């Protein structure tokens, strides 16, 4: 209404319609219609009406500008349900309230008219959550914000295919200095490598880092007790970094890094980095851009160059880099198979057999593979290439692994310790078809656990002289207690065959009677 009153004041002052249109920025037809309405009402330019009088004239002749309900006949009808509409808008969308109102009261009002009524006639609903609270920058080096942002597509010369490129962005809140690393993957390893590169780029570590709840950093989102990715938590502990996740679905908790995504996309990527022919060249270009372009701009809030402010005030307040670099690792889960091995990184590693069928936590580095059950390290192996197997015999049951551990060399050494006859029997068994007779040789040696080395050596001597140095023969001799009983084969083993040709004298015995001599 105020602009309409000004039209009449300019008209009374003698301004032409063109001048009024130019000065007030109103449409020519609108100005002409207002002037014609004044003339039809008998008002002349010479009449000097006050501003109050012109206001009353507008209220009388143009009521729709004062009372919005006069603009549409539906506004008056909807006003009968004003309280119901206001209550519905406190918890529902405009379209939802409109649909329920039309169904409940059989109204045929359009959604567009209903929206105009809500916007024009109702007091806007303002909630406390709609208020944006400005977060102060805090102290130098206190906070950094981090996020991934999509840059665009890049033609990979190696494959000839277009690939999506993302940017890891870490912004220091006090100085607004930033680190950008273009990446092709947004996985856990990339997340960790980019953090290490960012801290090396700054030469220092911020006290606290604000991030959203991406799974590379936060496994379970909880404002009071979040669960972090183990590898990221280990990195934060090594660098002395406090992790501070945002609320779920609240990107406004890290506004500074969110605002940098379109800036990085426009300034760094489009027309510059996207034309480079390798990912390494893109990474190098991004670091130069952070120093020479983004770091040298005059920031609209701080009114200083981010790089200069970082070097003058913020870097000294940040944490120093650790003396030893952090060893990049990955945390996985692996289930112990029936053969007491776990598949990790394409290779197989043994673990103690008592953890069979359990799921273990695995810490995987470039050098080591460590298996955890809770906080306890139960096994550590040096890392091996994929499609290889590493087995520690101590991880397997002794009685189940004995056959593979007790090889022919082991059997011969143990036999020599038990006695010469035992060594003679074992060597005879392993002389022909070694692998076939290996289990028999192991069985012979194992008999010493039951009968002792002395009895076993005697039994082996008897079995060997008998011409049957087998496991079953040695065992039967021991079981019957015959290892000490003297036999004709023990007396003269080399002439035993002659006894059948020359008579009883060949056995070393003298005939006791004439009948025996005749035989």
Determine the pLDDT at residue 509: 44
What pLDDT is recorded for position 2? 67
* Burial label, 262 (beta-carbon count in 10 A; 0-12, 13-18, 19+): exposed
Question: Contacts from 79-82 at CB under 8 Å and sequence distance 24+?
Answer: 79/121, 81/105, 82/121, 82/122
Q: Is the pLDDT of residue 315 over 90?
A: yes
Distance CA 430, CA 440 (A): 9
When pLDDT is cut at 50, 70 and 90, the band that residue 390 belongs to is very high
Pairing of strands 208-211, 143-155: parallel
SS3 441: helix
E strand or H helix at 373: strand 368-373
> Looking at residue 1, what is its pLDDT?
55
Per-residue exposure over 463-475, b if at least 16 CB sit within 10 Å of its own CB, e if not: bbbeeebbbebbb
Which CATH architecture does the domain made up of 143-317 adopt?
Answer: 2-Layer Sandwich (3.30)
% of the chain residues with pLDDT over 70 = 87
Whether residue 282 contacts residue 171, with contact meaning beta carbons closer than 8 Å, is answered with no
Tell me the H-state helices in 184-254.
188-202, 230-239
SS3 call for 38:
helix
Q: Would you list the domain boundaries of the chain? A: 2-66, 69-126, 143-317, 329-394, 406-485
Lowest mean pLDDT segment, chosen from 44-58, 225-239, 330-344, 462-476: 44-58
3-state class (DSSP) for residue 245: strand
Of the two residues 505 and 90, the one the predictor is more confident about is 90
In a 3-state reduction of DSSP, which class is residue 218? Answer: strand
Q: Which residues contact 473 (CB under 8 A, 6 or more apart)?
A: 463, 466
Taking all residues of the chain, what is their mean pLDDT, rounded to a whole number? 84
Supply the pTM of this predicted model.
0.60
Contacts of residue 191, Cβ cutoff 8 Å, sequence gap at least 6: 168, 214, 216, 217, 232
Provide φ and ψ at 449, rounded to 5°: -65, -30
Tell me which of 51 and 105 has the higher pLDDT: 105
Give me the pLDDT at residue 377, please: 95
Least confident piece of the model among 35-39, 124-128, 427-431: 124-128
State mean pLDDT over 370-393. Answer: 93
Predicted confidence (pLDDT) at residue 296 exceeds the cutoff of 70: yes
CA-CA distance, 225 to 493, in Å (whole number)?
A: 85
Q: Which of the given ranges, 132-136, 287-291, 322-326, has the highest pLDDT on average?
A: 287-291
Q: pLDDT tens digits, residue range 95-130?
A: 999 999 898 888 888 998 888 888 877 767 666 777
């Amino acid at each position: 209404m105020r602009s309409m009153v000004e039209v009449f004041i300019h008209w009374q002052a003698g301004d032409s319609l063109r001048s009024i249109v130019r000065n007030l920025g109103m449409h020519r037809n609108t100005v002409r219609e207002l002037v014609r309405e004044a003339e039809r009402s008998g008002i002349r330019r010479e009449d000097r009406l006050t501003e109050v009088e012109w206001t009353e004239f507008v209220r009388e002749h143009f009521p729709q500008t004062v009372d919005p309900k006069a603009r549409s006949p539906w506004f008056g009808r909807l006003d009968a349900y004003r309280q119901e509409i206001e209550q519905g808008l406190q918890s529902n969308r405009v379209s939802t309230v409109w649909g329920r109102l039309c169904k409940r009261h059989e109204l045929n009002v359009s959604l567009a008219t209903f929206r105009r009524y809500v916007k024009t006639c109702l007091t806007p609903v303002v909630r406390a959550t709609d208020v944006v609270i400005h977060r102060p920058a805090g102290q130098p080096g206190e906070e950094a914000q981090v996020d991934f942002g999509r840059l665009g597509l890049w033609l990979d010369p190696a494959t000839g295919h277009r690939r999506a490129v993302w940017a890891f962005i870490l912004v220091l809140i006090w100085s607004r200095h930033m680190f950008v690393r273009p990446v092709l993957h947004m996985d856990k390893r990339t997340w960790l490598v980019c953090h290490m590169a960012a801290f090396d780029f700054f030469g220092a570590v911020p006290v606290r880092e604000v991030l959203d709840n991406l799974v590379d950093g936060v496994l379970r989102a909880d404002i009071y007790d979040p669960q972090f990715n183990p590898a990221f938590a280990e990195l934060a502990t090594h660098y002395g970094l406090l992790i501070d996740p945002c609320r779920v679905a609240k990107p406004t908790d890290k506004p500074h890094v969110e605002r940098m995504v379109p800036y990085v996309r426009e300034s760094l990527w489009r027309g510059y980095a996207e034309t480079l022919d390798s990912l390494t060249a893109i990474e190098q270009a991004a670091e130069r851009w952070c120093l020479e372009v983004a770091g040298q701009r005059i920031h609209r809030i701080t009114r200083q160059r981010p790089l200069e402010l970082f070097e003058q005030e913020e870097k000294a307040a940040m944490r120093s880099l650790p003396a030893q670099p952090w060893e990049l690792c990955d945390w996985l889960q692996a289930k112990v198979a029936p053969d007491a091995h776990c598949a990790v990184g394409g290779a197989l590693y043994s673990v103690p057999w008592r953890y069979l069928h359990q799921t273990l936590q695995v810490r995987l580095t470039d050098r080591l593979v460590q298996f955890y059950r809770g906080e306890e390290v139960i096994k550590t192996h040096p890392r091996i290439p994929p499609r290889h197997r590493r087995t520690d015999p101590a991880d397997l049951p002794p009685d189940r692994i004995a056959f593979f551990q007790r090889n022919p060399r082991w059997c011969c050494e143990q036999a020599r310790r038990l006695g010469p006859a035992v060594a003679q029997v074992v060597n005879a068994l392993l002389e022909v078809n070694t692998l076939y007779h290996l289990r028999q040789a192991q069985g012979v040696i194992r008999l010493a656990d039951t009968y002792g080395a002395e009895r076993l050596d005697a039994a082996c001597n008897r079995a060997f002289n008998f011409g049957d140095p087998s496991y079953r023969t040695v065992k039967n001799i021991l079981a019957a207690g015959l290892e000490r009983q003297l036999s004709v084969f023990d007396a003269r083993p080399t002439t035993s065959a002659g006894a059948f040709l020359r008579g009883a004298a060949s056995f070393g015995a003298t005939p006791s009677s004439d009948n025996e001599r005749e035989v």
